[in-house]
Amino acid sequence: MSENTGAAVTGTADRTGAPRRFVHFFGFRSPTPPNVWGLICGGVMFALSLTPSLIPRTWLYQGLSCGLSAATGHLIGLMLMWNWRMWLRDTVEPVWRSAVRGRRVPELWVTRGRRALVVLIPVALLLWVLVAVRWQRELADLMGARSYTAAQFLLVLPTGLAVWVLLDTVGRAVSAIAGLLADAVPGRSTRYGLRLMVSWGAVAVVTVLLVDFVLPGTVRRATEQFFSVSREPIRPDLVRPHVSERSGGPGSPTRWEDLGAYGTRFTALGLYREDLEKLTGRPAKEPIRAYAGIDDGADDVERARHVVSELERTGASERKALLVTPATGTGWVNPTTAQAFELMFDGDTAIASAQYSDVPSAVQFVTDRDRVAEYGRALVSTVVDWWHTLPADHRPKLYIYGESLGTTAAEGAFSGVRDIAGAVDGMLLVGPPNSNELHRDLVTRRDPGTTEVSPEYSGGMMVRFAENADDITRWRHELSDPDSADEWRSPRVLYVQHPSDPVVWWSPDLIFRRPDWLREPPGFDRTPAMNWMPFVTFWQVTLDLPRAAKVPDGHGHNYGASVVDGLAAVVGANYSDAEVERLRDELAVAMQNQGPEKEIGGNDSRG
C-alpha cells in the first residue's frame, strides 16, 4: 500500500498537515463530486418542501422553497458526515469490519443499484410533484384562488435544482475560504481539526456581523435607491382636494405635492360630503383627513404634532368619531378602512395618519423593526394626549386601527391592556405580525383550553380574537340577545387573524419548534395536510409571505370587507345584519370610483 493510500485510510496528515478526510470534505484542495450524504438529505427536504403550507404557491415560489430546503438539507448532511468522520468512524468501522468478517456486497449489485437509483429517483420526484399539484389545487379551492396545471408546476424541478446548485456553489466557496484560513493559522504542529475550528469560527463571526450590521443597512440603502416612495410619482388621475378638511387642501400648511405618492392617495381619494349624501341618501358632513408627510417634521414627534395641528385646524374636536391609523412604511393608508369608517358615521369623522419612512414595511421590518414601534408611540400618544385635553363630555370617540406592521405601531403606544383601557374607546388590529409583543403576550396567556388560532383572553371581556367576519357576526348576535350572559366591555380590542395568514404565523421558531397552531385542528381556511417539519416549514411559510395578500378576500393577508364587521364590533353600536350588509354594499359602490385601489380589501404591494 502506498504512503498516500495509507494516509487516506488512516486519516494521517498529508504533506500540508491536513488529514485527507478534511481535504475531501471541504473541497478546497481540488473540485470534488457532490457529497452523497448531502444529496440524500437535500433530496429528502426538496421532496418534503412540496407539501402544502398556508398559501397556494406558484411554480416560482414553490421552486424557491424547494431549493432553499434542499440546500439546508444538504448542509445538514455535510454536518452529519463531518461528525461521523470526526468522532465516530474510527470507532465504528473496526467493529463493523469485525462483524461482517470481510463479507462485501458484490460489485455487480452495487453497479445495478446505482443505475436503478438514477432512474427511480427522478421518476419518484416527478410523481411527487404531481401529488403536490393536487395539494395546491385543494388549497386553492379552499380559498377560491387560481390553481396551476401540472405542466406549469413541473417548472418547480428546474427552478428548485437551480437554487440548490447556486447555494451549494456559495457554500463550497465559503468552505474554501475556511480552508485557506485554516492553513494560515500559525503553528504547523497544531492539530488540523483545531485549526479548522478556528477558521470556521472566524467565518461564523464575520457572517453574524454581516447579517446583523452590514446586510440590513445595505438592503435599506438599496431599497431607498431603487424603490423609495419619494421617487414614485403622484398618480396622474389624482386631483388636489378642494376642501379645507383635508391636508393639502385650501388652508393646509402642507403643499399637496409634498404629501408623497401615498399621502396624496389618502387625501385625494374617498367620497366628499356631496358624494356621501348621494350614495347613502342620508345627511352627511365633510370628512376630515389629516396627514403628515415625511417632510412635515424632522422626526416622528414633530410629524405627530403636525397631525394634531391639522386636527385642530379642521375642527376634528367637534366630530363624532376620530380614527388614528398608523400608516405602512411608505405612508399608505388602507382606503377600504378609511372609507368604511366615514360611511359608518356619515362623514362626521376625522382620520389621522402620518408617514415615517421611504421604504416598504417588509424592508422596515427586516432592517429596523423597533423603528415602527417608536413611530406608533409618537403618533398615537401625541394624538391621545391632545384628545385628553378636550372636555370629556364634548369630544369625539377615539379609535385606533392597525393593519399588518401598522398593528406593531398601534401596539407600540401602549404597555398593556390596562393602558389601553384608560386611553381610547376601541382598537381594531388586523393581521398582526407574530413578533408583536402585546399580541404575543395575550396569545401566550390565553385562557386554558383555547387555541392559538382562535384564543380567548380573560373570557373575552375586553380583548377578542376573530378568525373571520363570521366570528364577529356570531358575537353580535350573542351580544344583542337579552337572555345572553355574554359581555364585551368598552373599550373593545379586536384582533382579526386568518388561520392562513403567514404574517400572523411566521416566526424564526418554526425552524426548530412545532408551534401550537400546527398541533391544533386547522382553522376554516388552512388545509389539514399541512404539517410541521424542521427547517422545511420555516422556508415554506417564509416563501408564503410575498404572496400573503395575493389571495381572494377573506384569506391570507387580505382582510377585505371584514373591516366593516370589525369596525362595527369595536364601535359597539348594536348593528343589525341588515345594517352591516347595507354598509358593505355602500362600501363596494364607494370603492368603485377610487382608481387602481378600488377593489375592496385591495392591499398595496408597497406597504
Q: Round to whole Å and give the CA distance between 183 and 17.
A: 9
Task: Give the range among 9-23, 148-162, 322-336 with minimum mean pLDDT.
Answer: 9-23
Given a contact cutoff of 8 angstroms between Cβ atoms, the answer to whether 559 and 403 are in contact is yes
Q: Round to whole Å and give the CA distance between 456 and 451.
A: 8
pTM: 0.84
Find the mean pLDDT for residues 279-297. Answer: 94
Mean pLDDT of the chain: 83
Percent over 90 (pLDDT), the chain: 52
Given a contact cutoff of 8 angstroms between Cβ atoms, the answer to whether 281 and 582 are in contact is no
pLDDT digits (tens, 9 = 90+) for 471-498: 999 998 888 877 776 789 989 999 999 9
Strand order of the β-sheet with 288-292 is 288-292, 349-354, 321-324, 397-403, 426-430, 492-496, 463-466
Domain boundaries, the chain: 16-184, 229-498+559-597
Q: Round to whole Å and give the CA distance between 381 and 377.
A: 6
Q: Round to whole Å and give the CA distance between 584 and 299.
A: 38
Closest CA to 63 of 179, 153, 183, 138: 153
* Residues contacting 129, CB < 8 A, separation 6+: 50, 150, 153, 154, 156, 157
- Provide DSSP, 375-395: HHHHHHHHHHHHHHTS-TTSS
Cell of 39: 444529496
pLDDT of residue 540: 96
pLDDT of residue 65: 95
pLDDT of residue 186: 66
Find the mean pLDDT for residues 111-121. Answer: 76
Q: Round to whole Å and give the CA distance between 439 and 129.
A: 37
**How many CB atoms are located within 10 Å of the residue 419 CB?**
12
Q: Round to whole Å and give the CA distance between 379 and 353.
A: 8
**How many CB atoms are located within 10 Å of the residue 551 CB?**
26
Quick check: 599 pLDDT over 80? no
pLDDT of residue 248: 94
**pLDDT level of residue 303 (50, 70, 90 thresholds):** very high
* Residues contacting 184, CB < 8 A, separation 6+: 199
**pLDDT level of residue 362 (50, 70, 90 thresholds):** low
Pairwise pLDDT comparison (232 vs 168), residue with the higher score: 168
Quick check: 600 pLDDT over 50? no
**How many CB atoms are located within 10 Å of the residue 100 CB?**
10
The CA radius of gyration of the chain, in Å to the nearest whole number, is: 29
Q: What's the DSSP call for residue 244?
A: T
pLDDT of residue 546: 87
**pLDDT level of residue 10 (50, 70, 90 thresholds):** very low
pLDDT of residue 222: 47
**How many CB atoms are located within 10 Å of the residue 117 CB?**
11
